[in-house]
Every structure is written in structure tokens, then in C-alpha cells.
Structure 1
Amino acid sequence: MSRLLALAALALQFSCAQFVPAPTDLIEAKGYANISVRYKQVPTGICELDPDVKSFSGYADIGENEHVFWWFFEARNHNASDAPLTVWINGGPGSSSMIGLFQELGPCFIDEDGSPYNNPYSWTNVSNMLFIDHPTQVGLSYSIPVPAYTDGYSDQITVLPDTTCPDYATDWACGTYSYFNQSLTANSTPAAAPSMYKTLQGFMGAFPQYSRKEFFFTTESYGGHYGPVFNEYIEEQNANLTEGAKEISLAGVLIGNGWYDPLIQYQAYYNYAVDPGNTYNYAPYNDSMKAWMYNNLYGPGNCYDMIVDCNTRGINEVCSYADNFCYLQVENIFDIVAGRDEYDIRELTPDPFPPEFFVDYLNTPKVQQALGAYVNYSESSPAVSTAFGTTGDDGRVLTTITDMKKLIDANLTVIMYTGDADYNCNWLGGEAVSHEIGAPNYEQAGYTDITTSDGLIHGQVKQAGKFSFLRIFESGHEVPFYQPLVSLEMFRRAVKGLDIATGMWEVGDGLPASEGQGYRISNEAVNTQ
């Protein structure tokens, strides 16, 4: 899971880099908790195409060298001041939330010519949306902006004395980057929680008109770590508000294809690829590979034992070594053998979906000026992924399961949704995690079809009260890209407090558990040609 940030992607993400001048037209405001915020209104057409829907972007300056980028969109078809506020963050660790904005559920997509076009399934149809590049040094966030260059494949930058691109550096590699320094960003999920909280306090204070109603937190992938821990931290801060801080009216948490519990989910790689196997009936390994993977997972002193040891002793070096072993000797076997995209097993590698035209778009001077950006855009941050790697955060169970249970017990909406073609954070592991949480009445619930406005069945849900687990059919890792309609209707029903299966019933403590068939409905066989 920790290798989401493949170095092969770096060549693309730096391809349009250039030096970025410091923004001079940002409005300065003071948020709650004395957090400084700088922002500007984004012109219509940069992403949102409706001139009646406002958009703002900027930075929450949460520390001397912590400048967190955010991009906000008003809700469509609503009075924005009466709409809920929803945050979206991507995972990684170190992945930019512009991925979610431009590839999944934001107001626009970018075509191959670099032009935005409307996304009719944007989650802004339901809620105000706030996309945050978190933690510092992710995406357009920065610690210290410096002129530098990269070869496009390395995970390091070389700082330049000025904004002159030397002959020995390719033109497209020179630009303004956040200074690569692991000590200036978070190195674990618990360490990142306070900076997220400060960012929210800053935005909500600068824009109180958008922060009056319920607050929803949405995320995916490494968000299985972020979502539970961050929101339990928010609840703890709500219970002990400091002077000048605002209570955040948390109403729900939605997590797509999350990485929650490595002890469960490293085993799920074997479950998904070998036994009982995935529902596409795709079996990538011969008998010797199956035996090798099983031994790497369960052999004495191997992956399972290492993860147990990590979470028993909690030593950074132990956890880092364990996670690296499990990645290389268990998870990565699929990448070596299958020749398929681990985020969508239906596709051969290299997989062109979802398209990444937005990366170049965000590195054009016009867009950077419109957003008030101070650094070139990077789809992922090697500094952050490396920092998290030093603590072995990926291999730690942390408090994810207990925090999910606390959120459920607090009567909040909690939804786990999973695309069933994703190997990386596969739905078998997610389903096992959902049972581990121990939500009331969940074990008695069955799976039932999710009905949508097109009359098709795009997935199934197992729901008890306000807790739901969804398997979305024919979907890779980024569910809103592959199945936009059911994703939007799921989100709408969650925000409105309705049952996920039909959207016809108001969810409450008295709602009976869902009833339906078993979960092993098979997809059509994957095309192996």
C-alpha cells in the first residue's frame, strides 16, 4: 500500500514545470484559532463552468513553514450558505487531493487539449466541497518555496541559486518546488491530524458563511488511516475547545477503498488473488507462486509475524522494515507477475485510466496565477511518503478500528465503499475490516442491491443503522471515476441521512439492518487477452 507513489509517475508530474512567482493578489484573513488564511476568488472556467457558482482557493498558514493549499467550490443548485461542507482528501501518504478533484468528483475534468469540461456527477451537486492538499509539501502545499530542478525520475530535487535554469538541467525539470525536508511535514497519521484540524479552523473562520451546517469528511485509500484518526481527533478537540476555536459539526465520514488495518489487509492480497479469489475469476498465479506468496505471508517470522511485532512493540524501525517486507514479498507479487494494474485488475499496464491531463493543466502559468499558487504542482510528494516510511505508519494498525467504532457510537454516518476491481485496497480486506469494527446489528445485516436512477444495479450494500459497507461492481480504486452515478447517489443519501440501498428511508437507530443475498456474486470474467 505504501508504494502508491510510484516513481514512474514523476516524469509526468514535472513535465510542465517552470518557475512560479510569488502571488501578490491574495486576500488576507484571520480564521478561527488565530490561523492566517490567504485566498482569492477563482475565475469561472478554470474548473467550475457555471458563473453563478463561486470558487475560492488559497493557503492556510498553519505554521511558519506550513502552508496548506485548499480549493473550495460552492454547492450547485443550492443556497451555498445552507448547504453542508464536505472535505475531500486523497491518501498516499503524500497524494494530492487534486486527484480527487480532477479525476473523480470535482466540478470538472480536463481533456487532452488542456480544457476543462463539466462533470455532471460532481459531488458539488449535493454539498459545498473543500479539497485540501495535505499534509505540507503535498500538491500545491509548501514549506519553503525554492528554485530547483529534478531529472523527472528521481525523488529528489536540487536547489538552484536563482531562477535561471542551467544547461545541465532539462528545461522542463526546472521550477519552484517545496524544499524537500522531511522534518517540515508530518511523518505519521497521528502527527498529521493536528495540521488538518488547524487547516479546517482557518478555512471555517475565513468563510463562516460556508461552515454553518453539517460537516462531512470524505477520503480514499490511505484515507483508511486518515479518516478514522483525523475525525476522532476532531471529536476530541470539540470536547475541549481552546479559545478562539470553532466546534466542527461532524456528521459523517465516507472512505473509499481504504487502507485501515495492515494485519487484515496484507492477508487480503492472498485472499483476493488466490483463495477464495476475486469475483472476476482472474487467477494470476501458478501453484509455485501461490505457495511462495503464502509462505511470505504466513511463514515463521515473515509478513504476518512482522506486522504483529510492529504493532506490539511500536518501534519505528521494526514497523518500517515489516511494511517494506510485506510490500515487496506479498503485495508486489501481483505487479511482478500479472502485468495488470493493481488499482484495476481489468486493465493491462500501463493503464491510461483515469487520464492525468490535469497535471499539466495545473502547471500552466494561467492556472497557477488563477489559483494563487506559489509552487509547481506535483501529483505526489516523495518527501511525505518517505517521512511516513521512516515510522512505518503504513504497517501500523494505529487506532483506526477503535476510532471507527467511536464514530459509529457517536451516532455519526460512517460509510466504507469499495470498487471490486481494485487489488491494492481490495474489497475482501475492506469487508473483513467492516466486521472487525463491531458495529451494532451489523453481523445480522445482509447484502442488498443498491438501486439508482438509471435502473441498473451498480453494487450492493450491507447496512446497520448509520454504518454501511458497499461493494461497487466494475470499479477500480477511484470509485467516483469508474461508477460516477452510484457514487453521487451514495453521497447524496449519506448527506441527507437516507438508507444507502434505496434512498427512500430516513436512517435512525430504529432502522432495521439490510436484508439480502450473499456477497460472492461474480463479475463477468476479466478479459485476459
Structure 2
Amino acid sequence: MFLRTFIRAGIVLLAGAFITCAVSVVEDDFDTSEAGHIEIQSEVHDATGIRYVKNSGICETTPGVTQISGYIDVGTNMSMWFWFFESRNSPKTAPFTLWLDGGTACSSMMGMFQENGPCSVNADHNSTTLNPYSWNNISNMIYIDQPIGTGFSYGTDLVYTTEEAAPFVWTAFQVLFESQLFSKYSSREFIFSTEGFGGHYAPSFVTYFEEKNALIASGAIHAVPIVVSALMINNGWIDPLIHSISYLTFATYAPGYGQLQPDDVLKNMSDSLYRHDGCIAQEKACYAAGNSTSSNKICADADQYCIDYLFAPAVNGYDTHDLRQNSSSLFPHEYYVDYLREKDVMKKIGAQVTYKECPYPPYDKLASTGDDARTWLPQLSALANSGMRILMWAGDTDIDSNWLGVHAVVLAMDWYGNETLHNTPLTNVTMDGKPVAAVQNIDNFSFARVYECGHEVPAYQPEVALEIFSQVIRKEQLHSV
């Protein structure tokens, strides 16, 4: 999920001997401090920097399917939460998929419980139902809360930019893949899947991984390679200039849904976009300023201006993530938040702090540098040009990172397939004869506009999302079934 509301409601390499050891928790009551930290009375720490609970019985109740939840120590006083689910089918050969939510600075438990995880939480806020379309039907899945401070992660947050987030996620996988617990997954197909502000995270993190892999190959460092075989970005926030322009385009005419805002609002949006000191001019100034410290205010100001004068009027009267709903945001349901804050649930999964879905402190750090206003289009283009399997997909009722903006980003990519993509029409693909998406396929690259769903595509169209995910795993171009 990617939060862009005008109220504001997306390395140190660890090494050593690795010994696998489960967390042991006594059944005493938790003591919650004002800071929200839960004191576990007894816990065993292993030498790897992993503390975990195996087969807690929470969420994934499919017989014989292993789950592991806990913490990875990625630095001094930096505990990153993870929740892993073995594939329900062929776990010994199934790929390994990372899911990261965006925010800015939101927990990946949203994706797990609201979108593609093994279960959803019921309306009683106290029980779960197995998800028949969970992505762990066909892949081993891991969900990670980052930066520190989001979700169940806790400790010192040193992340002020997207670039600064990448080394900690790299470290997390170094710890995991060098442990006896997860080493068997280090050689699997690694799929990086994300949404919203993950449009920043994905090109940044994967580029960083590839830089580290090159150093490993040259012998400059000793570490476990993290080779991403496929990248999936759902309604991603990648190039803020292009996305800001799309707010006016989408509010003027959302394909299939019509004009969203009255003419006078559209005129004001246009004026704010194109005036000499408007959104376009400020975003271009941000891009030109680069990553120097002096650029922080330029980019932060650009971001706030474009939010106030483009995003805010575009979404007025609607749920930002689904134009078919009003601003009360009825779906996806937030039942899971209360569930994860139950003391008994926290005990069973090994969580040590009160769950925070999209907390302000890590968000404020990223906002202070204007990170939201910076583009990752060059890095995404380079990954596409390398031939990496990439899927850019978007639900067509999302206003926030709307599909017109995502498609404009795709068309702006500087890569060998650019001209071919421009000359390739969007073509319907069907499931059981019903059109479910309009797609473009160029070699290993695919774009998909997914019909009748908002920002969190797998929440609205779970069966379609699972089929698309399966085609990515099978290295197929998107096609009808």
C-alpha cells in the first residue's frame, strides 16, 4: 500500500558460525511498556542473529506446511521482522519469493493478510480463514517488515532514503541464507515482488544486490549471492513526475469509469501542474539537484506541492486506492491489525513489539529527504535492458499509483524494447472466457492493466493474481487460460 494523503493518514555484512535454535517462550503474561515493547520472559538467541518460532499454528494451518516467524538482527539494536511460509506444493523445488509492501514505510503484513498470504482475518478480528489463492500454493514466501519501526520490526532506524534501506535487506538475506535454517533456499529462483512505494524499493534493492553480486564474483567480498530472477511491481510509484502528470490525466478520464472531478477542479490541477513554478518545474528541479544534502528541501517541497495540488484534488471524494469506494475505504478490511495485537497471537509468533501498520517515525525520516519525489526510472530501465523477467502490473481502479501513470512509466523506460513496446497494442487476456487484464509482452517484460481491482491487486482479484504469478514463475509471457 502506498500512502499519499494530504492528511498523511508505500551495511554491515554479518558473518560467523551459524547454529539453528528455536525461540523458547514461557507462557507468562506480556508486559507492555508505553513504547509498545513486549517483554518476553524467556527467549533463546542463536549465534546467527536469527530469533524465531517454528510452526506457531497462526495463519497457515495446512497440514505439513512449515512456517517460521521472528527476527533477523541486521545491525546494532536493529531487529527486522520476517514471516516465512513454505510452499504448499513441492516446497523442495518451488521458488523463493520476497514480498515487500511499500508505504511509504508500511508493514508487509498488509500484503500477507490482505492480499496473497496463507490466510485472512475474519470479521470477528479473532480468527482466520485459509486463503485458497495464497501465493504459497506455488512458492516459498517470505514477508519482511522494513525499514526498522514498521510492523513488528523494532530498534534503531537509520533509513532516511531508499538507497539507505537496501543494505539492511541485503544483510537480512545474508543472515538467512548463511543459516542452516534457510541455506537451502539460497540457490532457488528468487522472485522480488512488491507494490506501491515498492516501485522505489525494487529497482534500488535489486540494483544493489547486483552490485554486491559482482563484487562476490570478482572475489572482492565473501558473501552469498542474491540473484533476482524475476521482478514484480504492482501499482508501483517509480517516477514521481510522470505519476503526478497522471493524476490530471486520470481525473479527467479514468478509462472505463469516466471523469472523476469537475471541470473547475481539473483546470486548477492543470494550472498547478504546468505553471512556471508548478509541480513539473519543481519535480524537474528535484531531479536536477541529484542526491546532495541540499537537494532534500527541494525534493521535499516538490513532493508536498504535488501532493497538495495534484494528488489531493484528484482523489477528493474517493478512496485513494479504489475509485469505486468513497474515502471510508471499506476494502480491503483492516481486521488483521487487531488480530496481530492480541497478546496470545504475539506470543505464539514471537513478536516483541505492538504491531504498527504504517507508523510515522520511519515515514518522517524518508519524507525529510524528499525521497518520495525522486525517480528510479533509470535503474528500472537498466534492469529491463539486462533481460531480467519483469512484470509491471496495476489494478485499474487505483487513483494513487494509477495504471495510466504506471503505463506511462513503462513507455518512458530507456531500454532495447522501447520502440517495440510503443508499437505493441494492449491485448485482452481471459480466464474462462472472461477478460481479466489488458497486457503487453515484449520478450521477458510484461505490462498488465488488471480489470476491476484497486491498488492491492491480489486482494480484489485473488484468482487472477495467482494465475499471473504462476505464469511469471513458469517464465511465460502473460496469456489467457
TM-score by length of 2: 0.88
Deviant stretches of 4+, over 4 Å: 4-8, 16-19
Aligned to 1:222: 197
Distance in 1 (alpha carbons) for counterparts of 2:238 and 2:298:
19
Contact 1:135 / 1:192 at 8 angstroms: preserved in 2?
A: yes
Query: What letter matches 2:445 in structure 1?
Result: F
Q: Any residues of structure 2 matched to 1:447-466 within 5 Å, and which?
A: 447-452=426-431, 454-466=432-444
Aligned to 2:370: 392
Distance in 2 (alpha carbons) for counterparts of 1:107 and 1:51:
12
Distance in 2 (alpha carbons) for counterparts of 1:107 and 1:117:
9
- CA drift of 1:318 comes to 0.7
Structure 1 residues 26 and 5: alpha-carbon distance in aligned structure 2, compared to 1, 3 A threshold: farther
Aligned to 1:109: 120
C-alpha offsets along residues 423-457 of structure 1, whole Å, 9 cap, x if unaligned? Answer: 000000011111111442322322222233x4321
Query: What letter matches 2:243 in structure 1?
Result: Q
- CA drift of 1:212 comes to 2.5
Distance in 1 (alpha carbons) for counterparts of 2:69 and 2:152:
11
Distance in 1 (alpha carbons) for counterparts of 2:396 and 2:315:
18
Give yes or no for the alignment of 1:236 onto 2:211: yes
Distance in 2 (alpha carbons) for counterparts of 1:310 and 1:93:
18
- CA drift of 1:281 comes to 3.3
Distance in 1 (alpha carbons) for counterparts of 2:211 and 2:75:
21
Give yes or no for the alignment of 1:198 onto 2:171: yes
Report which stretch shifted further, 208-217 or 415-424: 208-217
Q: Any residues of structure 2 matched to 1:118-517 within 5 Å, and which?
A: 118-143=130-155, 184-206=157-179, 207-241=182-216, 243-274=221-252, 277-314=253-290, 315-336=295-316, 339-397=317-375, 400-439=376-415, 440=417, 441-452=420-431, 454-502=432-480
Contact 1:5 / 1:382 at 8 angstroms: preserved in 2?
A: no
- CA drift of 1:7 comes to 5.8
Contact 1:53 / 1:75 at 8 angstroms: preserved in 2?
A: yes
Give yes or no for the alignment of 1:43 onto 2:60: no
Contact 1:458 / 1:486 at 8 angstroms: preserved in 2?
A: yes
Give yes or no for the alignment of 1:24 onto 2:42: yes
Query: What letter matches 1:442 in structure 2?
Result: L
Q: Secondary structure at the match of 2:261?
A: coil
Structure 1 residues 243 and 18: alpha-carbon distance in aligned structure 2, compared to 1, 3 A threshold: closer
Count residues in correspondence: 444
Give yes or no for the alignment of 1:94 onto 2:105: yes
Aligned to 2:20: none
Distance in 2 (alpha carbons) for counterparts of 1:23 and 1:407:
47
Give yes or no for the alignment of 1:61 onto 2:62: no
C-alpha offsets along residues 364-397 of structure 1, whole Å, 9 cap, x if unaligned? Answer: 1111111111100011121111111111011111
Q: Secondary structure at the match of 2:401?
A: coil
Contact 1:105 / 1:121 at 8 angstroms: preserved in 2?
A: yes
Distance in 2 (alpha carbons) for counterparts of 1:213 and 1:302:
47
Distance in 1 (alpha carbons) for counterparts of 2:342 and 2:335:
12
- CA drift of 1:18 comes to 6.6
Contact 2:4 / 2:311 at 8 angstroms: preserved in 1?
A: no
CA-based RMSD: 2.0
Query: What letter matches 1:68 in structure 2?
Result: M
Query: What letter matches 2:275 in structure 1?
Result: G
Q: Secondary structure at the match of 1:417?
A: strand
Query: What letter matches 1:185 in structure 2?
Result: L
- CA drift of 1:188 comes to 0.9
Q: Secondary structure at the match of 1:240?
A: helix
Q: Secondary structure at the match of 1:341?
A: coil
- CA drift of 1:19 comes to 5.6
Query: What letter matches 1:293 in structure 2?
Result: M
Query: What letter matches 1:353 in structure 2?
Result: F
Structure 1 residues 5 and 112: alpha-carbon distance in aligned structure 2, compared to 1, 3 A threshold: farther
Structure 1 residues 297 and 74: alpha-carbon distance in aligned structure 2, compared to 1, 3 A threshold: same
Contact 2:97 / 2:139 at 8 angstroms: preserved in 1?
A: yes
Aligned to 1:512: none
Contact 1:84 / 1:212 at 8 angstroms: preserved in 2?
A: no
Distance in 2 (alpha carbons) for counterparts of 1:413 and 1:71:
25
Contact 2:200 / 2:238 at 8 angstroms: preserved in 1?
A: yes
Query: What letter matches 2:80 in structure 1?
Result: V
Contact 2:210 / 2:227 at 8 angstroms: preserved in 1?
A: no
Contact 1:5 / 1:380 at 8 angstroms: preserved in 2?
A: no
Distance in 2 (alpha carbons) for counterparts of 1:287 and 1:449:
32
Give yes or no for the alignment of 1:72 onto 2:84: yes
Distance in 2 (alpha carbons) for counterparts of 1:7 and 1:298:
25
Contact 2:100 / 2:195 at 8 angstroms: preserved in 1?
A: yes
Query: What letter matches 2:51 in structure 1?
Result: R
- CA drift of 1:26 comes to 4.6
Query: What letter matches 1:329 in structure 2?
Result: Y
Contact 2:108 / 2:145 at 8 angstroms: preserved in 1?
A: yes
Aligned to 2:26: none
Distance in 1 (alpha carbons) for counterparts of 2:469 and 2:62:
22
Distance in 2 (alpha carbons) for counterparts of 1:494 and 1:5:
36
- CA drift of 1:81 comes to 2.6
Distance in 2 (alpha carbons) for counterparts of 1:37 and 1:222:
27
Structure 1 segments unaligned to the other structure (5+ residues): 9-13, 31-35, 145-183, 504-529
Structure 1 residues 265 and 310: alpha-carbon distance in aligned structure 2, compared to 1, 3 A threshold: same
Structure 1 residues 233 and 361: alpha-carbon distance in aligned structure 2, compared to 1, 3 A threshold: same
Contact 1:28 / 1:39 at 8 angstroms: preserved in 2?
A: no
Structure 1 residues 273 and 290: alpha-carbon distance in aligned structure 2, compared to 1, 3 A threshold: same
Structure 1 residues 234 and 499: alpha-carbon distance in aligned structure 2, compared to 1, 3 A threshold: same
Distance in 1 (alpha carbons) for counterparts of 2:315 and 2:185:
44
Query: What letter matches 2:358 in structure 1?
Result: S
